[in-house]
Chains A and B, each alone.
Chain A
């Protein structure tokens, strides 16, 4: 029997399987984003279940389920909501829909295909944690996601699911659609808040600016990822006890994974959290079905562009934060990028380093200058103008951003043992270190490929006819003699 892997024409890239569906259960319907479909498939039942209980009981339910943040850091949502200082109001919810980490896409699908589920999640979070206004920040370049969420909000307001005295209760809430204008770093929660205040999206220092304490307009603020919140309707309908039955104790529930690159069938899947391994994802019949024909795995990025790279040695690790961390990387944002043996490793690393260098907000010198240096040096190495000094220089520049031992995978071939995640850093946020990560991984695991680029100089001819000119010079020189 072959495992089910069903793709729906209106959701390119997504595959359903015989697995629990907490956030993607409606992806099979063409009209999954409409209020009618939502209501016909159990929509807003989680909200009703929540409103039937006192707010603190809903908060307890979410805590009991250990809903890990899906934005990258994996911090439990219920615990995060409890970090706001006592007695300080108003408190806000800011929804992080700025998805732009290389390799990552799931929030876009959740917004395009099931916007009401996200809205219901926002309502439940605000009710439970006493948050008095919600701002839903969608990445600027996602036109269709913005349209779907706008329409869903309009319909939900009209039907009384948002606004004053929701479903006749005491609970009143506005959800405001906000949209960005193209800047990766704005996905960082304090930068998101700066941007939402109308400023340049530059991260703030933590401490003191932990959003829970000093967030939007200086008020306590919860920032949660789209997928994190999309889990809440199911959780409220089915209860924490059911939620924790899926996945593992430290990583319950499911998570969305995007697997791209040199696999037979790249795709986005909702997988069981904690236990699904990278081998399952890359080689599983219901997932990517292996490396494209006739090729073999060279390396993969396990958790979004910011994550140190893994080799075939790490394939059997499960999607579980602690184990992946000990092995030298992170589960991060749920994105795996796969490279086969045809990949030019220094050039592949450059695509990521250039990304982070470009996206530096410029606040910290090691990132602003260091990221750019890394990109320039790597550019010249890739272009064939590098020197042997350049490779050491890459490391030296990297160490100004991340001093000390940098995490990396173990490798049997190279006799390397793993250095666990995380690293030390001299910058405010992770953009600086992320510019170095691909360079460090590539150099540590594939140094020979860099060295091969140093042997042969790329030849640039200054004149298109240098030989004739030289010959003419010889002749005239001869005439003088």
Chain B
């Protein structure tokens, strides 16, 4: 899907913060994924138009990054960390249990489209092993019991306030008020040192 009118407004605001529009590619891919749950070809073509790249270039960028999905995934993406600290404290056993509870293997989506289970890499919470993220929201020191409870809560919609559907990562966006921001300029149109640098220092 192309970006909606509202999302184009957000996109233009994001693009405006960078000296070169292409820098907005990854944030706009996130925006597309937030809109559709995954990144569609139409969205990539649209992003290309907005940032001045071909859709192939946008695809090239998008496919490098783990978080972008190119086909529908579950409403809840469950990522279980399997790197060393978590593995030392039973992440493999947890994954085994999760596969059993959800009735799917890591890398798959449940038939009802609610859950996708993935093996993830170090989530920067190593002291709280084993860890997982649901749509990039943490759960620490997960046991078989707390895992099952989590799945039940998600099914029942009890965590909807905390955990948005797949596609939304941060729920708060940066906003730079027009009267406060300095504004981005292309690098080639800046040649002088910044105003606060003494001229002698700037020459160094």
Contacts and interface: CB of A to CB of B under 8 A. Distances in A.
User: Do A and B bind?
Assistant: yes
Interface of A: 12-13, 54-56, 86-87, 89-90, 99-105, 107-108, 127, 130-133, 139-144, 146-147, 150-151, 153-154, 157-158, 160, 162-164, 169-174, 176-184, 195-202, 217-219, 258-262, 266-268, 301, 305, 335, 337, 339, 343, 347-348, 351-352, 355, 358-359, 361
Interface string B145-175: 0000000000000000000000001111111
Contact of A260 (B26, B126, B193): B126
3 smallest CB-CB distances across A and B, nearest first, come from A182-B66, A181-B65, A198-B25
Contacts of A176: 17-18, 174, 184
Given A181-B68, A182-B67, A103 B140 contact: no
Nearest to A148: B172
Contacts of A218: 187
B194 A89 contact: yes
Contacts of A217: 19-20, 187
Interface in B180-204: 180-184, 187, 190-198, 201-204
Given A55-B201, A105-B125, A132-B190, A262 B174 contact: no
Contact of A54 (B135, B174, B198): B198
Interface of B: 17-20, 22-27, 29-30, 51, 53, 60-61, 64-68, 79, 82-85, 87-89, 121-129, 133, 135-138, 140, 169-177, 180-184, 187, 190-198, 201-204
Contacts of B125: 13, 105, 108
B176 A343 contact: no
Given A100-B121, A150-B170, A259 B27 contact: no
Nearest to B84: A351
A140 B190 contact: no
Contact of A169 (B61, B180, B190, B196): B196
Given A150-B172, A170-B196, A102 B83 contact: yes
A90 B190 contact: yes
B12 to A, nearest CB: 15
A77 to B, nearest CB: 18
B36 to A, nearest CB: 15
Contact of A181 (B19, B26, B171, B202): B26
Contact of B169 (A104, A143, A174, A258): A143
Given A174-B17, A178-B26, 6 more contacts: A56-B198, A143-B171, A158-B180, A163-B182, A164-B181, A197-B23
Which of B60, B126, B136, B190 has most A Cβ within 10 Å? B126
A86 B180 contact: no
Contacts of B184: 133, 174, 176
Contact of A90 (B61, B64, B123, B187): B187
B61 A130 contact: no
Contacts, number: 248
A339 B89 CA distance: 10
B173 A13 contact: no
A204 to B, nearest CB: 15
Contacts of A142: 124, 136
Given A13-B127, A143-B136, A103 B122 contact: yes
16 contacts: A12-B128, A54-B198, A55-B198, A89-B202, A104-B126, A147-B170, A151-B172, A157-B177, A163-B182, A172-B194, A178-B26, A198-B53, A199-B61, A202-B64, A339-B88, A351-B82
Nearest to B58: A198
Contact of A200 (B64, B84, B173, B195): B64
Contacts of B187: 90, 217-219
Contacts of B127: 12-13, 105, 258-260, 266-268
Contacts of A361: 64
Given A139-B124, A143-B136, A260-B129, A87 B202 contact: yes
Contacts of A55: 196-198, 201
Nearest to B53: A198
Contacts of B83: 102, 305, 351-352, 355
B65 A150 contact: no
B180 A164 contact: yes
Contacts of B27: 178-179
Contact of A261 (B88, B137, B172, B202): B88
A236 to B, nearest CB: 15
